[in-house]
Structure 1
Amino acid sequence: MTAHQRGPVAGLGDLPVGRAAGWLVGYLLFAALIGIGAGVLWEKIVRLPGYTVAANGTASTTERGLAGFFSGDAWFCCIGFFVSIGLGIIAWKWFGRLGWPVVVVAIVGSVWAALVCWWVGYRLGPGDFETRLAAAGPGDFVPITLTVRTPVTLLVWAFGAIIPVLLRSSLGRDEEEDQLPPRAPSRRRRDRSAGEQAGGR
């Protein structure tokens, strides 16, 4: 048997390598589009705090402004959690036959979408804070940079993606068991059935 006649490669279930690779590229492209939309939404939702430049050139902010420094991260996590659940559902539908690699696919897709979301939000945001603060004059309000300040936020995206995969694999119907032939009744069960039929007569 030649290599071309072997069919699907071991470890990929019944999904050929070429088709799996094509679907993976399509999934990453889809995740990138989702990340772009999430980035636009992220930039629109977040209300960035900032610093006010005084007459003497110093810049200060309020306590409320300091508390809002991580609002961008909070919204990034909220958006990413729900977006990643959807990506996880799609990952299962497309790659569920691969077995355990579907978890890796879901995580990679969600983290990729998170990076795209961050990049789009940063580009749409006000830009580098230091540059804008240096160019600001007295009385100007300079918002901080829209960015992710804690890398832990990426874990939220990954966690959201694996939730539907784990739930579906643990609670859903096992397609491999459905394809198995029906199990023949044991000898003891056959003898018991025969005895019940004889007693009924």
Structure 2
Amino acid sequence: MGRTLAVGAVVFGGVTLLGVPLGLLWWLIAPRPEATVTSQGLAYYPLSQTWFAVDGYYSIMMLVAGLVVGYTCYLLQQRISHRHRLDLRLATLLGLAAGTVAGSFTAWGVGAGLDFHAAERALALAAPGDVVPAGLTLRAHSALLLWSFSAVLQYGLFEALMLRQSDKAREAEKTAEEAAAPQEGRPSAA
């Protein structure tokens, strides 16, 4: 029980930490939307496609990260389970699900946090009517679940494939045993 909890905690921590480089990557590659300075603050209308591109970059990164992390965690879990004769599937899956949610929030915080001060400085120096970069922000909060969704889906698909293969192997073994059983009981015709 202690080993399975430790594996789940390691998966959770490792996957959560992956949010830091993902947030940095989002900050580096995502376009910066622009906003117009008014006397009351920033005006975000009319919305440009850049606002949607920011969410799109984040979403695509999280989907790809989920596929890679789900596949990697499943393979590592299989290897460790076979080596130590432990069933680590549930602990790994729970650590993966919780870690990807925490990692998504970490990536969002890192990306938006790195842009926060630059956007605040640009706003402080701007006069009403100026157009300034607004900084990264995630408007589609549902994108925070994409990493978890794709990772758990990938992990589950591999588990289903492995269960299907083991079922087929058991059926083939059972068929071979049934075919050999009647021949053992028959007397030889010599």
Q: TM-score, normalised by structure 2?
A: 0.71
Partner SS, residue 48 of structure 2: helix
C-alpha separation between the residues in 2 aligned to 1:43 and 1:173? 40
Match of 1:30 among 7, 10, 14: 14
When structure 1 is superposed on structure 2, of 17-26 and 154-163 the one drifting more is 17-26
Q: When the two structures are aligned, how many residues end up with a matched partner?
A: 178
The TM-score normalised by the length of structure 1 is: 0.68
Aligned position for 1:172: 162
Secondary structure (helix, strand or coil) at the match of 1:137 reads coil
The CA RMSD measured in Å over matched residues stands at 3.8
Give deviations 1:14-58, integer Å, cap 9, x for gaps.
xxx22223223322332233111100110111111212347x888
Say which structure, 1 or 2, has more relative contact order (CA 8 Å, 6+ apart). Answer: 2
Aligned-partner SS, 1:125: helix
Compared CA separation, residues 191 and 185, structure 1 to 2 (3 A): same
* Structure 2 residues without counterparts, runs of 5 or longer: 79-86
Aligned partner of 1:83: which letter? A
- Asked if 2 retains the 8 angstrom alpha-carbon contact of 1:57 and 1:137, the reply is no
The answer (yes or no) to whether the contact 1:86–1:161 under 8 Å persists in 2 is yes
Q: Within the alignment, does 1:48 sit opposite 2:24 as a pair?
A: no
1:132-167 CA deviation, whole Å, 9 max, x = no partner? 646522564322241221221122111210232122
- CA separation of 1:78 and 1:185: change in aligned 2, threshold 3 A: same
- The answer to whether structure 1 residue 67 and structure 2 residue 61 are counterparts is no
Q: Cα deviations across residues 98-132 of structure 1 (Å, max 9, x unaligned)? A: 34454333221211111110010011113496886
Matched, 1:84 2:84: no
Residues 175 and 23 (structure 1), Cα distance of their counterparts in 2 relative to 1, 3 Å cut: farther
1:150 maps to 2:143 = no
Match of 1:191 in 2: 182
- Partner amino acid, structure 2, of 1:164: Q
Question: Over residues 74-100 of structure 1, what are the superposed CA-to-partner deviations in whole Å (9 max), with x where a residue is unaligned?
Answer: 111111111122221233234453344
Distance 2:121 2:143 in 1: 26
CA shift for structure 1 position 190: 3.3
**Hey, which of these two has a bigger chunk of helix by percent?**
2
Please give the alpha-carbon distance, in whole angstroms, between the structure 1 residues aligned to 2:41 and 2:105: 34
CA contact (8 A) 2:11 2:96 kept: no
